[in-house]
Amino acid sequence: MNTLNRGKFFYQERDKDENGQIKEMEMICSQLDAIIENSYDGIYITDGDANTILVNKSYEEITGVKREDMIGRNMGDIVSDGIISQSGTLLVLEKKESVTIEQTFNNGKTVLISSNPVFDKNHNITMVVTNVRDITKLNELKEKLAQNERIAKRYHLEIESIKSQELRNMEIITKNKNMLEILAKAKKVAYMDLIVLLLGESGVGKEVMARFIYEHSSRRNKYFFKVDCGALPESLIESQLFGYEKGAFTGADRKGKMGIFETANGGTVFLDEIGELSLDMQVKFLRVLQEGEIIRVGDNKPIKVDVRVIAATNRNLEDMVKKKLFREDLYYRLNVFPILIPPLRERSKDIPLFIEHFLEEMNQKLGFHKGIDQEVINALIRYKWPGNIRELKNMVTRLVVGSDSDVITLKDLPMDLDLSLTMPDPDIEFSSGKIHLDRLIKKYEKNIMDRAYEKFGNVRDAASYLGMHPSTFVRKRQRYHSL
């Protein structure tokens, strides 16, 4: 008994009568028809003259063309009638070799067509078998991938542009000797990959210093994330920093989410106002510094992270440790390399530099060409700037927007700031060995009235602003004239 392998079919030759052989052949043909009809790919078969002899169900579903419109028809006529745009069969008959083409049908489907010739022993084509596979979704995915790559590239360029612009806008400007020494230390520690703790009043430029360290570090081509510990709600800060598993809490993303430390792996995380962290969060953050790992909310499996930490605060952490408001072990972990940034009032030589920088920035932004009078600069140098550089920037913005002329003068100064500069310096009075309180008060009152008159340009408005009767205003100014 000989066994012939026909794919999944086994035909055993036996002594049969003619009727038995016919039934056997009918069964094989029926099985082959079922295979062709249920093929995932569309199948289209013509004879050697391009006359259609078989079309399966998948071909109809993929192309939207009914088999009754194709069976028995010549492929040349089908193309001429516009039912299909081109034919792999005709190309095979022309080239006498296998052909693969991409084609779009009237239903919008894009398909990959592979047409293969079947030769007889004389090398004549007796049939052309065409496989048709729907690649519409594949093309859509490829287009989406290409689009996402374009978007990612554009975002990357935009981020780099924003980053560069941000760094230019946050430039460290100084002539102050102490500040120059601090910058030298910051640049040195940047390459050491140590934890840095930035200390100083609000508005002195701690974030600018953090970016300066990042830009001079070996991680400068990796992520830089700023986290404002004081702005994030207690209920969200853990999931923001460490991420969470799916279903960790109501409203959580069903796929889970990476936190900032995971996302910034290899880069730098700047924790601003770290003194605002709760004691519970301090414990979890300490784990990051000690073990170099985080645990997502809703999980118990530690995840290793490689992140450089720069922290900042305007609070006295040492005092908070004594009051049990800040963990001592975390304080010493953070206090590896502290940098104290001096307030603006101790950097008076830097004030004109910042004024010039912010003025140029606002002129470019608003399309102005405004200048600033030296008397205004002198007045701003005398001011104590409790809000530091941030307050100075806001003041320059206010002056540029509020002034009516191309030169900002003393009359453009806000009255509250202007009057704060009129107080006579009591140190000068004390230096003479004694102080005359009544004279000092009168001098202060005279300065206020003089400033108000310069501001409003007339007695009525100046007196009204100070809550005085115009005649009282004139009389007092005349009386104080010799002061």
pLDDT per residue over 284-313, tens digit each? 999 999 999 999 888 888 999 999 999 999
Closest CA to 348 of 383, 319, 322: 383
Section 156-173 average pLDDT: 53
- Note the pLDDT of residue 15: 47
- Residue range 321-329: mean pLDDT, rounded: 95
Say yes or no to pLDDT of 162 above 60: no
**Tell me, what's the pLDDT at 311?**
97
- Rounded CA gap, 453 and 419, in Å? 12
Mean pLDDT of 276-280: 92
CA distance 443 to 421: 13
pLDDT tens-place string over residues 7-42: 343 444 444 456 667 777 778 878 887 888 888 888
- Spell out the alpha helix ranges (H) of 170-268: 177-190, 206-215, 234-242, 260-263
| Rounded Cα gap, residues 46 and 118, in angstroms | 10
- pLDDT, average across residues 265-271: 94
Predicted pLDDT of residue 159: 53
380 versus 83: the higher-pLDDT residue is 380
Dump pLDDT digits (tens) for 447-478. 888 878 877 889 998 899 889 999 999 998 88
Angle at the Cα of 422 from the Cα atoms of 354 and 454, rounded to 5 degrees: 90
Residue 164: pLDDT band with limits 50, 70, 90: very low
pLDDT value for 217? 93
> What local confidence, expressed as pLDDT, does residue 422 receive?
52
- The proportion of the chain whose per-residue pLDDT surpasses 70, expressed as a percent, equals 82
Which of residues 398 and 108 earns the better pLDDT score?
398
Helix (H) or strand (E) holding 30: helix 18-37
pLDDT of 144 above 70:
no
* Per-residue pLDDT tens over the stretch 370-390: 999 998 898 899 888 999 999
Helices (H) and strands (E) in the chain — how many of each? 20, 18
Check if the beta carbon of residue 126 is closer than 8 Å to that of residue 49: no
Predicted confidence at residue 250, as pLDDT, reads 53
Interatomic CA distance for residues 177 and 349, integer angstroms: 10
Residue 384 and residue 346 in contact, taking contact as beta carbons nearer than 8 Å: no
Indicate the pTM of the whole model. 0.59
With a cut of 50, say whether residue 340 has pLDDT above it: yes
